[in-house]
Each structure stands twice: as structure tokens, then as C-alpha cells.
Structure 1
């Protein structure tokens, strides 16, 4: 009976946290994206595009970004060639919400949990920017592999990092009885 309560409590904490964060993020998007007349992405998506541009520029690529006026995306150009659209799904917020929900479902003390959420979220955020930069470079050099790079290889990277962080949390920091 205790095991059922533990599983039920985990499920309630996970989905409860996910639902709350999802609703907050949806509200944020509804207030910060513009979808009439001229489209405008939310600031977090624009920031990811700007950070990706900065990283690519640092790596020696002539890079430009511009808000697409016909859809919710920021267009990314490398060497004056359109290579990618950065959309809301590319900003890693949905993955960070999933990450936070899992960590809270297996929460430890407040300080440890809060610090792991903060640093884990930053790791996911910056890994995502690196991931976008690498995929753009790869697509520029190997356009014939665009689908496999975008749909399989690079999602595996971001989800792999998230899974690794979860694993570290459960093994090293959570209060799970071993």
C-alpha cells in the first residue's frame, strides 16, 4: 500500500507541477507573442536566437537573424544563406518545464532542489543554444542530412542531457529510499 501512495504522490506532484508551469508559460506566450498583422516571437525565443547568433559569430560565421513577418519564427542566416527558423519550440522552455516537474516530483530539501533546478535549467538552456548553432553549421555543410540532423540527432542531444540530469538527481540528491 505504501508503494502505491509513493507512486500516486509522484504522479500528482509531477503532473501538478507540469500543469502549473505549462499554464504560466502559455499565459506568458499569450501576452508576449503577436500573431496579428505582423508576427513577433516571445522575448525568450528572440533571446535564444540572439545567443545563437552570438555563438555562431564567435565561431567565425557571418550570421544574421530577423523576425519573420508571416509566422512566429526568427529566421537565421549564415553567410547570407537562410538556414533555419527558430520557433517557440526551439527555445527549450518546454523541456525545462518537463525537467523541473521531474525534479520537484523527486524533491529533496528546498535549497538543494532549488539549486539543482536553477543549474539544471541553465545547463539545458545553454546546451540548447549550442545544439542550435551546431545543427545550423551541420546543415550548412551537409544539407542532404537536414531531416535526420533536425529530427533525430539533435533532439537526442537535448533530451539526453535532460535524462542525464534526471539520473544524477535521482542517484545523488533526491530523497528516494534506496
Structure 2
């Protein structure tokens, strides 16, 4: 049994580190959501911020957009040209995806400074891609409402998770300690 632990030490370390970081960040985020009362920023600060930024980007692209609190559920309604097209819920703010990204990078950590910089820059990139994903999804729903299910359930999750995968591959191949050991 000891021989197996020695043989797969790096795999076990990766799994335990990933699970620890993921659990700590997820619990922290869950606590943030529990204590976010939505009185100032509805439904919570980050979801509200993504909704307002979506509205700003769409308006700047020439699509008259309004984002309003949903009266019946904790979400923000997106109206384009006065037509209710989508709602932005907590899951749309991208933080669960960023937590997943950070957990993987830490589990395959490299040098501390490089790891922190990659986490910060990768998180910002994921946030921006997620915001643009919502913008393009809203425009897509406006012009092609018949493809709502495919756009929301297949295409746009593929974009954000594809970006996470590419960032992971780049990290492992360029900066992680694992790559340095194999070189």
C-alpha cells in the first residue's frame, strides 16, 4: 500500500490540493451569497455588477438595453429594445468557473509569483469572456429566439469552459512545477 502512495504521490497531492482549494473557495463564496442581503446591489454585488456591465456593453454596441431587478426571483431581467430576453442569475456571474480555474492552477502550482499573476490574469480574462458571452447570448436571443436552448445550454457554456480548458493546458505546459519535473 505504501508503495502505491509513493508511486502516485503527485497524483494524490494534486487531487487533495484541488479538493481543498475548491472546497475553501466554494464555502467562502457560499458564505458571501448567504450574507449578501441584496438591499443595495440586487441580488448580490457580483451578479448585479455583471448585469450592469452587460447593459453598458450592449448600449455601447448600439443595442438599447435596460437591466431591471426581477420582481419574482433573485435575478436581473435583460430587456433589449423593450423585449424581455434573458435573466442574469447568480450562476451567470462566472465566479463558480473562476473558482474551478483557481483550484486547478493552485493544484498544479508553479512559482508563487507566477502562480498568483496567472490566477489574477486568468480570472480577469474569464470574467471578461463571461461578460462577452452574456452580451453575445443576449444578441443571439434577440435575433434567433428559436435557438434559445442550443445557445444557452451548448454553445455558450462551451465557450466559457473551453476557455478554462485552454488556460489550464497553457498553465500546465508553460508554468507548472509538473512541467519543470518532466523537462
Instruction: Please give the range of the TM-score, normalised by the shorter of the 2 chains.
Output: over 0.9
Contact 2:38 2:45 (8 Å CA) reproduced: no
Deviation >4 Å, runs of 4+ = none
Per the TM alignment, residue 109 of structure 1 is displaced from its structure 2 partner at its CA by 1.1
Per the TM alignment, residue 3 of structure 1 is displaced from its structure 2 partner at its CA by 3.6
1:88-114 CA-to-partner distances (Å, cap 9, x unmatched) read 000000000000000000001110000
Contact 1:48 1:129 (8 Å CA) reproduced: yes
Matches within 5 A, 1:10-29: 10-29=14-33
SS of the equivalent of 2:47 reads helix
Contact 1:40 1:68 (8 Å CA) reproduced: no
Q: How many residues align?
A: 175
Q: Tell me how far apart the structure 1 counterparts of residues 65 and 47 of structure 2 sit (CA, whole Å).
A: 17
Q: Does 1:139 align with 2:141?
A: yes
Q: Tell me how far apart the structure 1 counterparts of residues 33 and 77 of structure 2 sit (CA, whole Å).
A: 19
SS of the equivalent of 1:71 reads coil
Which has more radius of gyration? 2
Q: Does 1:92 align with 2:94?
A: yes
- Normalising by structure 1, report the TM-score: 0.95
Contact 1:139 1:146 (8 Å CA) reproduced: yes
Matches within 5 A, 1:1-178: 1=3, 2-34=6-38, 40-176=42-178, 177-178=181-182
Per the TM alignment, residue 34 of structure 1 is displaced from its structure 2 partner at its CA by 4.6
CA RMSD of aligned residues (A): 1.4
Contact 1:40 1:69 (8 Å CA) reproduced: no
- Which ranges in structure 1 are unaligned for 5 or more consecutive residues? none
